[in-house]
Amino acid sequence: MVSAPEPFNLRVDRQGAVAVLAIDGDFDGYAVPAVAAEVDHLLRGGASRIEVDASSVAFADSSALRALLIAQRKAAGAGGGLRVTKGSDALNRVLGMTGLDEVLCQP
């Protein structure tokens, strides 16, 4: 039996050129399009720095990591940056296992 995915929510707190993107719930293939669209929206709107607060992520898979890497590349291409400033145990575990904590969590 397949259980229903955890509810997924995005919140944005924008202060000038800095945006905090808070991700709650399961960060998986179902959530990735919404995260990607929000990052694109923030970059088009002039955000030069995106800080990801993933402290309430219940589950993260490889699609979440890919989405964060692509978003970081887009932000850098726009002259800005993206980094994970707060991670849940679930996200930190996969970031650490893959070594991407060194890429996505550094200032």
Q: Which two tokens stand for residue 92?
A: 């930190």
pTM of the shown model: 0.92
Is the pLDDT confidence value at 43 over 70? yes
Q: In CATH, which superfamily holds the domain spanning 9-104? A: STAS domain (3.30.750.24)
Q: Kind of pairing, strands 81-87 and 9-15?
A: unpaired
Average pLDDT over residues 58-71: 96
Is pLDDT at 1 greater than 70 in this prediction? no
Distance from C-alpha of 18 to C-alpha of 63, rounded to nearest angstrom: 25
